[in-house]
Amino acid sequence: MEDILSRIDLGALPAHVAIIMDGNGRWAQRLGRARIEGHRLAIPAVRAAVEAAIELGIPFLTLYAFSTENWQRPAEEVKGLMRLLYYVMEEEEEQLIQQGVRLHVIGNLELLPTEVRQRLEIALRRTAAGTRLTLTLALSYGARQDILQAVRALALAVQQHLLLPEEVDERVFRSFLWTRDLPDPELLIRTSGEQRLSNFLLWESAYTELVFLPVLWPDFRREHFYQAVWEFQQRERRFGRVLS
């Protein structure tokens, strides 16, 4: 681990890393356990990602925890995940405060069970003074749903003459997105070997470097994070231009 860490250029870090935490179900299945066990035993991986980001000094980490489409999973799994979320916030809140983490959340929160939403609001309030890392949970999140709610809000602003259609540029548009307070992610990691975005940060990842790791999320540790950052640093980012 020291080895991979020493190869990272601390002067060329991504400011925002996003992770699609995937593979909990398969991890559980391999051990002949229920899917929810995979989710439960993925908590150390979440801690590892937070610790790695803090250790490197990366200010923004966004974790895809539950998608809009995940609501269509069996009711029992959804219920288990919501219960887990509630429990994790209670268990981890103090540690997050100690670490200087400010919790943030994006997604259609109205769909969350009331207790979960209330518990989330407490955690957001209690961690509000954190300055080392903004940890964003994408919960009940879908990028298409975000783009649609932004378009609706924009249309309303135009209808009310608060905005002219010709004033709508990228900066104005993004100010309506759930992600308006976050910089675009420079690095997006997906675990479990799947190579797709699954409705995550579609607008924001236009020029993001994608790193796909074979490790299943419950097995993810700090060295996997460092590995992905190192791989990011080997890429040549062009943004459509020709490099001289």
* Site residues (vs Mg ion, CB under 5 A): 22
Q: Which does 37 bind (CB under 5 to 8 A by kind): Mg ion, ligand IPE, none?
A: none
Report whether 53 contacts 134 (CB < 8 A): no
Q: Which does 67 bind (CB under 5 to 8 A by kind): Mg ion, ligand IPE, none?
A: ligand IPE
Which residue's Cβ has the minimum distance to ligand IPE? 25
How far apart are the C-alpha atoms of 40 and 163, rounded to whole Å?
Answer: 46
**Measuring CA to CA, which residue among 178, 194, 188 is closest to residue 22?**
194
Kindly state the smallest distance separating residue 80's Cβ from ligand IPE, in Å. 10
**Contact pick of 18, 37, 52, 66 for ligand IPE (by CB under 6 A):** 66
Verify whether residue 199 is a known catalytic residue: no
Q: 50 exposed, middle or buried (CB, 10 Å; 0-12, 13-18, 19+)?
A: buried
How far apart are the C-alpha atoms of 62 and 105, rounded to whole Å?
Answer: 9
- Give Dmax (Cα) for the chain: 59
According to the binding rule CB under 6 A, does residue 140 interact with ligand IPE? no
Which residue's Cβ has the minimum distance to Mg ion? 22
Verify whether residue 22 is a known catalytic residue: yes
Provide the mask over 215-244, with x wherever binding to ligand IPE is found by CB under 6 A and - wherever it is not: --x---------------------------
